[in-house]
């Protein structure tokens, strides 16, 4: 797995999962949210969740090698409610980030460890997060009500 081609079609982007490509992921997400007139505060929350999930995939999914990931960004509408749904798909090692215990956010500075804070923030900033391993892929889905 070393393809570097970037393909963008409709609601999804596929690229090599590297931290260096984070700006491409954020730009793609930003364009989608612009199109949907997403309120600023919700937008920041979604950006934060997407960054944390993407960076996790970039750092760990294919370590020490590299590989591709796909992010799909969609808007679901039901009656008056709108929900942004972001799906991350990679073929790296099977890993459920949600299974990890939340960090203790009440510890004093000296005992604080930063590990796990990213995924904790994802849970805090979204309305729903789900993980499944399906057909050889890690599939993580975030939902945020607008």
Partner 1 sequence: MEIKKTLEGEKLTVAISGRLDTTTAPELEEALKESMDGISELVIDFTETEYISSAGLRVLLSAQKTMNKQGSMIVTGVNDVIMEIFEVTGFVDILDIQ
The minimum distance between CB 111 and partner 1, in angstroms, equals 10
Which of 90, 98, 92 lies closest to 129 in space, CA to CA?
Answer: 98
Q: Which residues bind partner 1 (CB under 8 A)?
A: 19-20, 22-23, 40-41, 44, 47-48, 51-52, 55, 105-110, 112, 114, 117-118, 120-121, 124
Q: Which is nearer to partner 1, 107 or 130 (CB)?
A: 107
The minimum distance between CB 104 and partner 1, in angstroms, equals 8
Q: Which is nearer to partner 1, 13 or 50 (CB)?
A: 50
The minimum distance between CB 44 and partner 1, in angstroms, equals 5
Distance, CA of 36 to CA of 53 (rounded, Å): 22
24: Cβ contacts below 8 Å, ≥ 6 apart: 6, 13, 15
Which of 91, 75, 88 lies closest to 1 in space, CA to CA?
Answer: 91
User: Cα-flanking dihedrals φ and ψ of residue 89, to 5°?
Assistant: -130, 125
Distance, CA of 7 to CA of 24 (rounded, Å): 11
The minimum distance between CB 52 and partner 1, in angstroms, equals 6
The minimum distance between CB 5 and partner 1, in angstroms, equals 22
Quote the DSSP letter at residue 115: T
Q: Which is nearer to partner 1, 100 or 112 (CB)?
A: 112
Distance, CA of 27 to CA of 33 (rounded, Å): 10
Q: Which is nearer to partner 1, 125 or 138 (CB)?
A: 125
Q: Which is nearer to partner 1, 24 or 85 (CB)?
A: 24
């Amino acid at each position: 797995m070393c393809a570097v081609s970037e393909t963008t079609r409709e609601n999804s982007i596929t690229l090599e999962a590297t931290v260096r490509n984070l700006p491409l992921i954020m730009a793609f997400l930003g364009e989608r949210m612009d199109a949907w007139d997403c309120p600023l505060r919700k937008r920041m929350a979604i950006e934060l969740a997407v960054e944390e999930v993407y960076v996790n995939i970039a750092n760990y999914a294919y370590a020490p090698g590299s590989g591709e990931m796909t992010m799909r960004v969609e808007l679901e509408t039901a009656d008056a409610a709108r929900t942004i749904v972001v799906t991350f798909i990679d073929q790296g090692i099977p890993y459920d980030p949600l299974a990890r215990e939340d960090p203790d956010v009440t510890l004093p500075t000296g005992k604080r460890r930063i590990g796990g804070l990213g995924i904790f923030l994802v849970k805090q900033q979204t309305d729903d997060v789900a993980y499944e391993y399906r057909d050889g892929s890690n599939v993580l889905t975030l939902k945020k009500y607008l």
